[in-house]
Amino acid sequence: MRAVFFDLDGTLLDTLPDLCACVNTILRKYGDREATLSEVRAAVGNGARKLMERVLPEGAPIEARLSEFRSIYAENSCVNTQVYEGARECLSALRQKGLKLAVITNKPHEATVKVLKKFFSQDMFDFIAGDSGDFPVKPDPALTRYAALTLRVSPAETLFVGDGETDLLTAKNAGMCPLSALWGYRTKEQLFAAGAREFAERFEDILKYV
């Protein structure tokens, strides 16, 4: 391995409380039933648009609500978000080994930069990309391959760590080695059913795998 690419939500950071709070801000505003934490957990993974499509009632104007969500979340993305235990130590150890590090997420790019700036040092990652509209969202591999090209690493020499089915598919589509994190928003059974065969129960397992 010459590089390790990470998903963000459910992989490096537990962002679910803030995502749920912002979703419910929208739902309350229009008199809709609020979503539970479990419902939002099941809805995340494919970007803000899919999240809103999954939690909004049928017939709600997606574009308008999506725009509101992006604005609200950009201002409230770090209220109750927490870094997972062991994440910083793992990233530092990987850097010491000389590996390139990247974050590839379907989270809106502005919010991605904001939360990473709060929880990690500025020089931790060699490449950071959220959903800016310039590339299709994961599991499309275009952005992930672009990151590898930018960092001058072969996809076959890159480990992709993520907690969801989307990350597993992204790794496979990009020709990278997938490693499924079990501390995030999907169970081992869900990931296995999606095709996952390599798992990390804790961040130390990433170092062992590398």
Positions marked active-site: 7
User: Within 13 Å of residue 181, how many CA atoms lie on the same side as its CB?
Assistant: 29
d(CA 131, CA 55): 19
Q: Which sign, positive or negative, has the C-alpha torsion 156, 162, 163, 164?
A: negative
Tokens of 42: 């099941």
**167 near 191, Cβ under 8 Å?**
no
Q: Give the strand pairing for 82-83 and 13-14.
A: antiparallel
Tokens 């934490």 found at: 37
